[in-house]
Chain A
Amino acid sequence: MIRIVLVTLGLVLATGQSANSRELRVCADPNNLPFSNRQFEGFENRIAAIIAKDLNANLTYAWMPQRRGFVRRTLKAGLCDLIIDLPAGYEAVLSTKPYYRSTYVFVYRRDRHVDVRSFDDSRLRGLKIGLHMAGEDGANQPPAHALARRHIVDNIVAFKMWDVDSVESPAGRIIDAVADGDIDIAIVWGPFAGYFASRQHTELQIVPVEPSIDPPSLPFVYDISMAVRPGQAAFKEEIERLLNRHRTDIAEILAQYGVPQVGQRASSRP
């Protein structure tokens, strides 16, 4: 906790231009492109800058890896007031109206003619499938559940979302593995796929997974909102107004980062 406070203070000193009395304190991951990083290169950083500018506020960050306890230790602990990118309706926060919607996707080399579009495609049994792994309270990404319930388990290759500091973007290595032919197909959250696929030496195909909701209730499409602390309804509404006002700019930023976006879906989040 002490570290975070110091880091935050450091940034206040570094970025504070002192002209604005208001401060926009954003909670973000220091090393997680395409979302955010300490060099302000992620789309969350870009969107936060737009919000801060409109609020005429100094933008400061509380940095924390987005792992267990991220929301609790940043937003809920009062170290910052706004999370830019969080699944809508996330527990114990107040979500804004969603401002984009993305999906888990299949990623494969175009020249390999994999052409898988559904979890029900029997060819998945014969392919080397890469998945991001994590261990939050036994949590798994939705594709892991979908494969497990189809008893597709022997041909899964696990990739860590973080690993070694020297690797610039560990989350992108699963996409490198597709490009290099180490795995046949990756199933990842859309924003990772879009961003890292565009940086490969070979052309990759990105296909939204089907079904978008695996019956009875496992979703692959998620609405993404900003989040504030419960009780800060006025602030939430202020942010919503800004999201609406800058929706074109924000859409442009998301497109620049290759975030796969999908349209309205029939049912709401689980």
Chain B
Amino acid sequence: MILSLLQRRLHWSLASVAQMFATVLIPCATAGAQSTGPEWTTPAGTVQGTRFSALAQISTANVSRLHEEFQFKTGVLTGHEGAPLVVGTTMYVVGPFPNRLFALDLTRPGAARWVFDPGADPFAQDKACCDIVNRGAVFADGKVIYNVLDNTTVAVNAVTGREVWRKKFADPAKGQTMTMAPLVVHDKVLVGNSGGEMGVRGFIAALDVNTGAEVWRAFSTGPDKDVLIGSRFVPFYDKDKGENLGSTSWPGTLWDHGGSTVWGWVTYDPDLNLLFHGTANPGVWNADLRPGDNKWSTTVFARDPDTGEATWAYQITPHDGWDYDGVNENIVVDLRFPSADSATRKLLVRFDRNGFAYTMDRKSGQVLSAEKYVFANWADRIDLSSGLPVENPEKRTHEGVNVLDICPAAPGGKDQQPAAFSPKTGLFYVPTNNLCMDYEALKVMLFEGAPFVGASVTMKAGPGGNRGSLLAWDAAAGKKVWELKERFPVWSGVLATAGDLVFYGTLDRMFRAVDARTGNVLFETQLDSGIVGYPMTFIGPDGRQRVAVYSGPGGFGGAIVPGKLSTDDPFAALGIVAATSDLPQFTGPGGAVHVFTLP
């Protein structure tokens, strides 16, 4: 209905007629769960977070002929994480701060229909931890909805570009910001906050899609009533059972500054009517100052999307001392497990910052398997009976103690850059970092006029010397199937398609399509600048498939480029500069959406 409304209001052309025709021919997104069709309306393509498209016009047979049709520059030269949306004949692009929303007319490639400026508070950009990124918008109910860095969620009329509502969460002066991509479930917009480094208290909230009014809010720390833990809460493991663990697992009232923000991904299972989200690292104090598990930091939550009530929780890395945020995507898949001749199970698969790939029963929260998908030495394994990591005490960080060669480094085996899952191959495609870090004590810093001391974190390449890779992962076997090593961390997202292709980008400017079964590179092209965006695909007005991706390096992994961070300050941007000091030789700043098609 929205599609037709859009098209009635916009200029008709032969091309958009062709698009209608194509829409009929291509399998629809909702028909086959876990896959997208001609449009791309939600941040991960699907609410399950699969980033899989049923489109197959572009395939292993012809992808080598892919060429760039047009590009559109956002005018902002900082990190472009996220992916555009496509609804009807319009592509929606949210730029990094100041977070303008561009509506591009796909019938006139590269032309903007309108630009919406949310009037972002300039104060916010000083607060964001890791570049001033935005991870994208969601389309629902005729509106394009996204988060502005200054803690505002805005809904914009998809046709007119006029603001419908806005919800202001908090003053960015408090250190809180918003960078995550919202998800819409039923009539609720799900959003969460950022700012775990700044001493805020994490939460996820549901807003009414029609008005922006807050319907519920679940904090990540504090007493059960604040966390929305009640009678329906049945965690699988004993370690996660007990009253008010969100406050009793902290000393005093430090939970009130406990971080554990919800800045990553939200996914949804329509069958069980459950949403899944992770929480970030515990608040600002050094780990020695907050003895206890520090719940519910680094935790996977399952919640009822209508009420916010938690049905289970699993804390991934208790008493985190490495900045292993638990915000990575929880991909909702139904797979034969534990092997190809087993029955299908309802699973949640997550590639955690801590280096382990978790395959969980998404109804109960039980961890069925947890295997290392990158080199990791902070823990030997995850004990499946207790759910606890078996830690290597030598790699525990303590303030005042030098701890060398902790793997993975703070950005994890993978950060927020999202993986994809192909139901055709049954494989996950995972962008990874191969970084280790040294925690060295007593670096003097300045904060609001006062000297501070903290651990200086420096990062370096992990074993093998490559700083990242794209790998294919068999969750049933808990094994890597193939791996493409990269010079830099792979900070782009991944797209899988029914054309048996996997698309990804690199910080050194390469945009690639590889064979989903073998990893063989079938197409590559060099863009204007490095890639930290997430490839997506859609059907254009002429009925032909397109693939789009942002260029513009930045974010945590590429922070050295847009921030022009000095390479003689290896501790800049939380220590990642040391590990990426040669990146400026490979890419300058940029910021554009690139659209590719077949001849």
List residues of A whose CB falls within 8 A of some B CB: 3, 29, 32, 35, 64-73, 76-77, 85-87, 89-92, 132-142, 144-145, 147-149, 151, 153-158, 160-165, 171, 188-189, 191-192, 217-219, 222, 230, 269-270
Contact = CB atoms under 8 A, between A and B. Distances in A.
A162 B173 contact: yes
B337 interface: no
Contacts of B115: none
A158 B446 contact: no
A70 B451 contact: no
Given A138-B323, A153-B290, A192-B449, A90 B565 contact: no
Nearest to A28: B449
Given A65-B126, A91-B443, A145-B400, A135 B199 contact: yes
Contacts of A90: 444, 446
* Ranked 7 nearest A-B pairs via Cβ: A139-B454, A135-B284, A189-B450, A148-B289, A153-B251, A35-B449, A148-B288
A206 to B, nearest CB: 15
Choose among B199, B252, B453 the residue with the greatest number of A CB atoms under 10 Å from its CB.
Answer: B453
A142 B199 contact: no
A72 B448 contact: no
A135 B448 contact: no
B571 interface: yes
B197 A137 contact: yes
B86 interface: no
Contact of A67 (B286, B447, B455, B563): B447
B442 interface: yes
Given A66-B448, A140-B452, A91 B288 contact: no
B448 A158 contact: no
B560 to A, nearest CB: 11
Contact of B122 (A3, A91, A219): A3
A160 B454 contact: no
A159 B586 CA distance: 43
A132 B199 CA distance: 11
A77 to B, nearest CB: 7
A149 B288 contact: yes
B252 A140 contact: no
Interface string B570-590: 011011000000000000000
B452 A134 contact: yes
B174 A87 contact: no
A140 B449 contact: no
A256 to B, nearest CB: 16
A119 to B, nearest CB: 14
A137 B126 contact: no
Contact of A144 (B283, B286, B443): B286
A86 B446 contact: yes
A141 B450 CA distance: 8
Interface in B256-302: 256-257, 259, 283-286, 288-291
A189 B445 CA distance: 13
Contacts of B450: 132, 141, 161, 188-189, 191-192
Contacts of B455: 137-139
A71 B252 CA distance: 34
Contacts of B457: 137-138
A67 B251 contact: no
A183 to B, nearest CB: 12
A66 B449 contact: yes
Interface in B192-227: 196-199
A148 B292 CA distance: 13
5 contacts: A136-B197, A136-B445, A145-B289, A154-B251, A218-B453
Contact of A70 (B173, B197, B446): B446
Contact of A161 (B259, B283, B448, B568): B448
A73 B564 CA distance: 9
Nearest to A216: B400
Contact of B448 (A67, A76, A148): A67
A61 to B, nearest CB: 15
Interface string B57-70: 00000000000000
A157 B126 CA distance: 26
Given A68-B197, A158-B256, A140 B444 contact: no
A149 B400 contact: yes
Contact of A189 (B442, B451, B454): B451
Contact of B284 (A71, A140, A142, A219): A140
A135 B197 contact: yes
B175 A135 contact: yes
B117 interface: no
Nearest to A160: B199
A122 B284 CA distance: 26
Contacts of B256: 158
Nearest to B128: A68
A89 B451 contact: no
B569 interface: yes
Contacts of A85: 449
Contacts of B572: 69, 72
A221 B348 CA distance: 51
A65 B448 contact: yes
A219 B171 CA distance: 34
Contacts of B288: 145, 148-149
B257 A133 contact: yes
Nearest to B442: A270
Contact of B253 (A71, A158, A161): A158
B339 interface: no
